[in-house]
Amino acid sequence: MLQRLEHLLGIEDLTREQISFILDQAKPFQEFQRHPLKKLATLRGKTVALAFFENSTRTRISFATAAARLGADTMNLQAEASSLKKGESLLDTVRTLEAMRPDGIVIRHSSSGAPEFIANRLGVPIINAGDGTHEHPTQALLDALTIRDRKGQLEAWNLTILGDVLHSRVARSNIHLLSKFGVRTTLCGPAMWVPRELETLAPNVRRVTRIEEALDGADVIIALRVQTERLHEPALAAEEYILRYQLTPQRLQLARPGALVLHPGPMIRGLEIDDAVADGPQSCVLEQVTNGLAIRMALLYHLVGGAAVEPPLAKVPDKAQ
Amino acid sequence: MPRGSGARICPIRILTGFLRCELPAVYVRMRRQMRVVEKRQLLSAEEISRTLQRLAHEIVEKSGGTKDLALVGVRRRGVPLSERLAKTVKDFSGVDIPVGTIDITLYRDDLSTVGPQPVVHSNEISFSVDDRDLVIVDDVLYTGRTIRAAMNGLFDLGRPKRIRLCVLIDRGHREMPIEATFIGNSVQTSDSEIVEVHLKEIDGDERVVLVDRVP
Amino acid sequence: MPTANDRLLLIKNGRVLDPASKTDATNDVLLEGVRIAKIGANLSAPDAEIFDATGLIVAPGFIDLHCHLREPGQEMSETIETGTRSAARGGFTAVCCMPNTQPVNDNASVTRSIVERAATAGTVEVWPIGAASVGSKGEALAEIAAMKGAGIVAVSDDGKPVATARLMRQVMDYCNSLDLPVIDHCEDPSLFAGGVMREGPRSIRLGLKGIPAESESICAGRDVELAILTRARLHIAHMSTAGALDYVRHAKILGMRVTCEVTPHHFTLCDEDVRYDTNYKMNPPLASRADRTALIAGIADGSVDAIATDHAPHHPASKDVEFDRAPFGIIGFETALALTLSELFHSGKISLTRLVELFTIGPARVLGIERKIAVGGPADLTIFSTDLAWTYRASESPSKSRNTPFDGRTFRGAPVATIVGGQIVYRRELGITAQ
């Protein structure tokens, strides 16, 4: 019997079975997106707080839509980065949230570990929508669902992740998730953004600096967004990045035929990815968006719905052993 | 009706052949934390088969033919029942009527009270529901809440012309204004009793029994 | 009515361990007033208070070269009174407090205020360290001579490195003429740059910005080169890397007066222990496993001169934030000896004599003073057990702060009594601190 999840803070501590369960549970919600009337009463009367301390339009809208389609109400807390600097501590914000008694909290924050901080202090299910450079578990889940649907299964094939891996929580969550299924991962990008220590994240991870080597034999390619502020630190011209790491149709040919191309979005067309690839038949970006809704609905259904179980079965696991 | 997986502990069964069994075959079975005792068999395998044959004919007759007709089986046991009904219709009329599956988990009205969320499954309705003459098929009609949820689900998909209900057993105790048009068998039951439908596609054996909860 | 000057305290039957005279023998020690009057077997002193030290070690009073008492200016986290009471519980008879208070201790009047406050409210001796630069801003030299007159024992801009090589050289030259050691917190700001833990596989996994070990070693290298140039007395504070240790060794081989200290948390924990718990956030951050091993080897082979706590209290609310935003630092007075006993002595890595050196003559040498158990010497002693089983509970501490990763940990060995100026200022079991 699957251990009930109390929170979704990250992929690292989930088992293969838990991940497969979530992906399987997303399937009915994928089908649901095709209904003419996309409204359920399953979570009617429940409130989901969307606490986005970092700017995000796409993820926030995706969660808001998922909650609404399940019939839940949402509370929107959007803290601009500047108001945080004005001094309201995370703890105070947490207490404010607690006083409003939401049934679930979706949180995105610029500090790694912030969702765990909140989960340790509130008895409310927490879903991590991205914390610092640590994890973005729902992204990895929707990527896995997209890949599984196209390839039939998540087993030992070759994944390549291109771009600024060091600062990418999406990359980390994907590495944690797919390595549990035996996927072999190659990381590639400018050397200062792909340090060798990344190879210690999970088994079967290697890092290369030449895109040709990275794409050779790839079955799935995830192109990461180039965070434009990073281009200045150290100064790396956009042209340099395009020259060495842009995913072009020619480079895509180096991968296995029919290799899938994913991107967490938003894409900077012409920078990390060429238009032709982004819109081509191998691109899965639109499915990623639909699957994002399905995954988030499945998670809200399981974490926020239903009665509380006494005592909670899956406590936040201790990270240091 | 949702059922857990049972683990037979010490079965003592008296073989009764194909006769309706009046002798209580007493055995204790662990089903989740509940112990049940079989009281009597309601339908044997052959009786189920005959009932379904009769229902299939009734449906086609009372629908004036197979035009726009479609069956929707309610997960779980409504599904093999609807498939068998469709096969019977094909056998005597040559027509393939569409069959779909509906999962009502997301439409239940008792989710906040059941503890951890039940597993959801997909619907599988490959035809359009608009302007269809639908017959919902389920094994047992009891409070009517399952059928209420099934109708909610169907209306999310479109606008059927008509919806009617076909059940193998109607056991009374309605809590909703819901009526079945096509009924296999009506049975008087008390609240502590459970009607268990065993179908070979799901349970291995084939019969309908009335069991009672052991306090 | 006995006055302070003729108060008699007879410590009976302890194992007297005095590294300065290379003694390790069971003996009685008679304290009279603020001096040690007699050392010998089976002493008798009919009017004396007796302290039975059977089964215990009697060592010279421990000195902590590095702590933060937060007074003046940050009294919500700690005061001289609460900090020194905590120090006494840790067996320390004297502590050196860093100047990063508010205002910074960069002139004689702040120094005097600390000294005076310690005289009234302190439980143990407080020896202030003065700032190297005005406000520790790294621009102009502070009034070091005036501060020396007021009682500082060293200079440092701790919390930060001395800002430039040029300023460090000036500080070293000037302090030479005043015969004061210069203590540096070694860090390269451009490599440190917003980091919160040691850079490595663990920082990558946790998604926390890492600080490479080279941030410390590059600055230590700079300081050692300058110490060689100026012949200064240089002391590397809270050393946490093999790289810095190598520079210190190099300087010692050349006969330079370069010394260093290591904190108990740096030889107990490593970066792999870090989690989203701000009690694991300090500066310098917990080191890599390899660096920790090198530090322990340096402690064993004599390259490391002292163990210092870097007791850095922060009131609980300020640490109860996301890891990124928490201030650096943990408290440490009360766990220092116990951690040293468990990680270094009970594990067989150092002898008991070496352990006592690290708390007594090691720090004393850095400060240019003596620390010994000798007739006529000051009656400052630390009496401890190597075997007493106990559990550390931060909530029981007289400190105002609770920021420690060791709360609830059980230990084998503890300070049992702390004697300052002939008075027992801390005694275990009763747990009272005499004033």
Domain membership flag for residue A192: yes
Interface with A, mutate which of C191, C196, C276 (most A CBs under 10 A): C276
Do the two chains B and A touch, given a threshold of 8 Å on CB pairs and at least 3 pairs? yes
Domain membership flag for residue C29: no
- Closest by CA position to A70, among listed A44, A34, A107: A44
- Closest by CA position to C161, among listed C92, C108, C234: C234
Q: Scanning every residue of chain C, which has its alpha carbon at the shortest distance from the alpha carbon of A115?
A: C322
Closest-CA distance of chain A to residue B92, Å: 34
pLDDT score at A90: 84
Closest-CA distance of chain C to residue A130, Å: 11
Closest CB to A113 among C199, C320, C322: C322
pLDDT score at A80: 61
Pairwise CB contact (< 8 Å): A111 & C323: yes
pLDDT score at B99: 97
Pairwise CB contact (< 8 Å): A200 & C205: yes
Closest CB to A198 among C204, C209, C320: C204
pLDDT score at B150: 96
**How much of chain C, in percent, has pLDDT values that exceed 70?**
97
pLDDT score at C333: 98
Residue numbers in A near B103 (CB within 8 A): 28
Domain membership flag for residue C432: no
How does pLDDT run across C173-228, given as a tens digit for each residue? 999 999 999 999 999 999 999 999 999 999 999 999 999 999 999 999 999 999 99
Domain membership flag for residue C313: yes
Q: Scanning every residue of chain B, which has its alpha carbon at the shortest distance from the alpha carbon of A25?
A: B120
Give the integer Cα–Cα distance in Å for B86 and B60: 10
The per-residue DSSP string of B65-123 comes to: SSTTEEEEEETTTHHHHHHHHHHHHHHHH-----EEEE--GGG-S-GGGSSSPPPP---
Closest-CA distance of chain A to residue B133, Å: 19
**How much of chain A, in percent, has pLDDT values that exceed 70?**
89
In the three-class reduction of DSSP (H, G, I as helix; E, B as strand; rest coil), residue A27 is classed as helix
Pairwise CB contact (< 8 Å): A12 & C205: yes
**A153 and A258 assigned to the same domain:** yes
Query: How many structural domains does chain A have?
Result: 2
Choice among C64, C188, C310, C380 that is catalytic? C310
**A234 and A122 assigned to the same domain:** no
**A148 and A113 assigned to the same domain:** no
In whole numbers, what is the pLDDT of chain B averaged over residues?
Answer: 84
Closest-CA distance of chain A to residue B76, Å: 15
Q: What is the ipTM of this complex?
A: 0.85
**Is C334 a residue whose pLDDT tops 70?**
yes
Between chain A and chain B, the number of residue pairs with CB atoms below 8 A apart is 56
**A274 and A300 assigned to the same domain:** no
Give the integer Cα–Cα distance in Å for C339 and A3: 39
Reply yes or no on whether C28 is catalytic: no
The residue range of the domain holding C308 is 61-367
pLDDT score at A55: 81
Record the pTM. Answer: 0.86
Interface with A, mutate which of B75, B111, B131, B152 (most A CBs under 10 A): B111
Average pLDDT, stretch C304-316?
98
At C360, which CATH number? 3.20.20.140
Domain membership flag for residue C35: no
Residue numbers in A near C209 (CB within 8 A): 133
**A141 and A214 assigned to the same domain:** yes
**Is C16 a residue whose pLDDT tops 90?**
yes
Domain membership flag for residue C41: no
Residue numbers in A near C279 (CB within 8 A): none
What distance lies between CA C336 and its chain's CA centroid?
9
**A207 and A298 assigned to the same domain:** no
At A71, which CATH number? 3.40.50.1370
**A294 and A168 assigned to the same domain:** no
Q: Scanning every residue of chain A, which has its alpha carbon at the shortest distance from the alpha carbon of B112?
A: A306
Provide the token pair at A160.
């390549």
Domain membership flag for residue A315: no
Domain membership flag for residue C399: no
**A86 and A51 assigned to the same domain:** yes
**A198 and A283 assigned to the same domain:** yes
Query: How many structural domains does chain C have?
Result: 1
In this structure, what are the phi and psi dihedrals at residue B167, rounded to the nearest 5 degrees? -130, 155
The residue range of the domain holding A74 is 16-135+289-304
Domains of chain B by start residue, with CATH: 6-44+191-213 (no CATH), 55-113+123-186 (3.40.50.2020)
In the three-class reduction of DSSP (H, G, I as helix; E, B as strand; rest coil), residue B10 is classed as strand
Lowest mean pLDDT among A9-23, A38-52, A229-243, B180-194: A229-243
Lowest mean pLDDT among A58-72, A170-184, B18-32, B145-159: B18-32
Domain membership flag for residue C242: yes
Pairwise CB contact (< 8 Å): C320 & A200: no
Domain membership flag for residue C49: no
Do the two chains C and B touch, given a threshold of 8 Å on CB pairs and at least 3 pairs? no
**A191 and A280 assigned to the same domain:** yes
**A142 and A278 assigned to the same domain:** yes
pLDDT score at A87: 61
**A69 and A154 assigned to the same domain:** no
